[in-house]
Amino acid sequence: MKISPKTMAIIYFIMGVFFTYIAILSADDTIWNVTTIILAIFATLEIGVSIRLMSLHFRLKHKKKE
């Protein structure tokens, strides 16, 4: 069974939001600690992948219409 790019985009976006939430919680005194920076990088990558997957979904949807 294939999973659509739209479903994967939603999953990656939720994971990105989750990593952002954990990064916010891990910022105690300053946001410039290693844990916060690593979690923010992971969140950025996850949200970036979700944007790319949504663009792929719309391209496939547009191609299917034609």
pLDDT reported for residue 51: 98
Q: Report the alpha-carbon distance of residue 66 to residue 54 in Å, rounded.
A: 19
- The predicted pLDDT at position 27 comes to 84
The alpha carbon of residue 37 and the mean position of all alpha carbons in its chain are separated, in whole angstroms, by 16
Q: Which amino acid is at 7?
A: T
The whole-number pLDDT of residue 40 equals: 94
Distances (CA, A) of 29 to 13, 23, 37: 27, 13, 14
Residue 7 has pLDDT above 80, yes or no: yes
Instruction: Kindly report, residue by residue over 16-50, the tens digit of the pLDDT.
Output: 999 999 999 988 778 888 999 999 999 999 999 99
